[in-house]
């Protein structure tokens, strides 16, 4: 599978620049366009791990519904600051037809990568640098190295808001950080999977969640084992290895909850890491077989 990159693009005139999307495809880039600071930045805040780089125009709206004529260059600086508060590692690029921005030393100090819109050579160099910056981003590398585990997030079976938990687990694995605090992250990810199996696809019924809408983990685990839980039963084929994976994760991530965050629990952490990825890799096929109208 070729490597794909997701770029958040804020440009109030993006709808009239259809050629940008065609060029992006040539570089294995998908552009996700917005007209405004609030539209684009809210999207980034909600789906941080989805994006590999940021592309701005120099002048755009504050809000998606703003009227033409209210565009301003101040929003690009505020957008950069907002995104930096969320993720300091992502790279910013500017493609603009605003000569005053393109020729401004002050603007180029704020945005080192500024390209001239409509100039073929500039646009080609922009996309080359977008690919380079994306490929060097640690989160992007993790998504590509473990692409099967991330597919459940990509196609919407598991909510994107839990994707960063998987990234944190893999980062801990790569750093050989076996502290119990990372077992807690694994427990949160298991909970996120159960939440998504209730919200994203209609698999686990509401009756197996508490009054706060959180999964009762023992009930959800039994349900995914295709066991009867107070009259609720999955009645769908789940391989025994996946049933065992759910059970082991539930027991393991709860077993060590009484330990301090700094306690080393190497073997359980390693085992749980691969069980989580095994479940995540299995989920798309399960969802496509039984809930194909929901993905």
In this prediction, residue 209 has a pLDDT band, given cuts at 50, 70 and 90, of very high
Out of 6-10, 153-157, 214-218, pick the least confident: 153-157
Per-residue pLDDT, 1: 40
Separation of alpha carbons 265 and 267, rounded Å: 6
- Read off the pLDDT of residues 235-252 as tens digits, 9 standing for 90 and up: 999 999 999 999 999 999
Q: What percent of the chain has pLDDT over 70?
A: 98
Q: How much of the chain exceeds pLDDT 90, in percent?
A: 90
The secondary structure of the chain in percent helix, strand, coil, rounded to multiples of 5, reads: 60, 10, 30
Q: What is the pLDDT of residue 292?
A: 81
3-state secondary structure 116-147: ECCCHHHHHHHHHHHHHHHHCCHHHHHHHHCH
- The burial class, CB within 10 Å (0-12 / 13-18 / 19+), for 144 is middle
List, in order, residues 6 or more apart from 233 with CB less than 8 Å away.
223, 226, 227
- pLDDT bucket at 201, cuts 50 / 70 / 90: very high
User: Residue 293 has what pLDDT?
Assistant: 63
Cβ(83)–Cβ(74) under 8 Å? Answer: no
Long-range contacts (CB closer than 8 Å, 24 or more residues apart) made by 238-247: 238/286, 239/282, 241/278, 242/278, 242/279, 242/282, 245/275, 245/278, 245/279, 246/190, 246/221, 246/279, 247/221
Q: Which residue has the tokens 């960063």?
A: 164
Mean pLDDT, the chain, whole residue set:
94
Residue 129 has a pLDDT of: 98
**pLDDT, tens digit, 9 for 90 and up, residues 24-64:** 999 999 999 999 999 999 999 999 999 999 999 999 999 99
pLDDT digits (tens, 9 = 90+) for 70-107: 999 999 999 999 999 999 999 999 999 887 777 788 88
Residue 247 CA to residue 220 CA, distance in Å, equals 10
Nearest C-alpha neighbor of 6 from the set 25, 26, 31, 23 = 31
Is pLDDT of 255 > 50?
A: yes
C-alpha 13, offset from chain centre:
26
Give the pLDDT confidence of 256-289 residue by residue, as tens digits: 989 999 999 999 999 999 999 999 999 999 999 9
End-to-end CA distance of the chain: 20
Q: What is the mean pLDDT of residues 196-203?
A: 95
Buried b (16+ CB within 10 A) or exposed e, 3-23: ebbbbbbbbbebeebeebeeb
- Whether residue 118 has pLDDT greater than 50: yes
At 251, list the tokens. 């027991």
Q: Which helix (H) or strand (E) holds 55?
A: strand 53-56
């Amino acid at each position: 599978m070729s490597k794909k990159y997701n770029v958040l693009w804020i440009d109030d005139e993006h709808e009239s620049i259809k050629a940008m999307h065609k060029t992006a495809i040539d570089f294995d880039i998908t552009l996700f366009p917005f007209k405004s600071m609030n539209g684009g930045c809210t999207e980034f805040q909600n789906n941080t791990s989805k994006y590999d780089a940021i592309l701005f125009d120099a002048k755009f709206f504050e809000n998606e519904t703003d009227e033409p004529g209210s565009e301003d260059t101040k929003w690009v600086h505020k957008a950069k600051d907002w995104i930096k508060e969320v993720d300091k590692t992502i790279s910013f690029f500017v493609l603009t037809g605003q000569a005053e921005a393109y020729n401004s030393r002050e603007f180029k100090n704020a945005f080192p990568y500024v390209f001239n819109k409509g100039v073929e050579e500039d646009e080609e160099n922009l996309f080359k640098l977008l690919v380079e910056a994306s490929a060097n981003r640690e989160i992007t590398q993790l998504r590509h190295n473990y692409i099967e585990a991330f597919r459940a997030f990509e196609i919407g079976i598991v909510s994107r808001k839990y994707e960063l938990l998987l990234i944190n687990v893999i980062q801990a694995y790569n750093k050989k950080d076996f502290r119990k605090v990372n077992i807690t992250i694994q427990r949160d990810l298991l909970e996120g999977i159960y939440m998504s199996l209730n919200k994203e696809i209609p698999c686990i019924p509401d009756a197996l969640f508490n009054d706060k809408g959180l999964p009762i983990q023992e009930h959800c685990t039994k349900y995914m084992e295709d066991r009867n839980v107070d009259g609720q039963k999955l009645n769908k084929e789940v391989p025994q290895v996946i049933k065992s994976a759910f059970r082991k994760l539930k027991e393991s991530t709860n077993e060590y909850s009484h330990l301090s965050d700094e306690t080393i629990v190497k073997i359980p952490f390693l085992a749980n890491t691969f069980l989580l990825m095994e479940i995540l890799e299995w989920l798309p096929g399960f969802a496509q077989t039984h809930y194909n109208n929901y993905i």
